[in-house]
Amino acid sequence: MATNLSNLSEFDAGSLPNASEMRVGIVASEWNSEITDNLLKGAHETLLSCGMKEENVRVHRVPGSFELALGAQFLLESSQFNGVICLGSVIRGETAHFDFVCQATSKGIMDVGLKFNRPVVFGVLTDDTIDQSRARSGGIHGNKGVEAAVTVLKMIALQQSTENDAWLM
């Protein structure tokens, strides 16, 4: 396994943009809350550690990962956010339900970002077991919520830099 004994969430805070003027929404699934609560904690702490003001982070819950895309769309329709982080956990069961939920969730999140031309980050764990999810939500492999927060900051900064480049106009 590529992630064997690796913490994938380590980052250099000095290499990230200052987030003091950014506004980020976080949509987190209630389903598998043991996992999604840890993802949310990691994302929230990372945003604040990069200078984001507490009042510029808004957290909203949706029932499950399938609903993350619509939750992100609701936030972006308000025009208050530079980007949205979607946090969820889908754990494989004995039926094809896992495949349908994962496919719809990933496509839905991508579609919302493209529709609104804003970063919408996929912070959804799609694991075979609960132990794999624990390892990726604050365990040995780090915290996917941290990675999602780093990603949204980088993408917001990229969008802002391209909007400010005169030669692109």
Q: Which residues belong to the active site? A: 97
What type of residue sits at position 102? C
Given strand 120-127, what is the order of strands in its sheet? Answer: 57-62, 24-29, 83-91, 120-127
Return d(Cα 109, Cα 46) in angstroms, integer. Answer: 21
Look at the block and give the residue holding tokens 């950014």: 22
What type of residue sits at position 19? A
CA 100 to chain centre: 20
CA 39 to chain centre: 9
C-beta of residue 150 within 8 angstroms of C-beta of residue 42: no
Return d(Cα 124, Cα 144) in angstroms, integer. Answer: 8
What tokens were used for 47? 């945003």
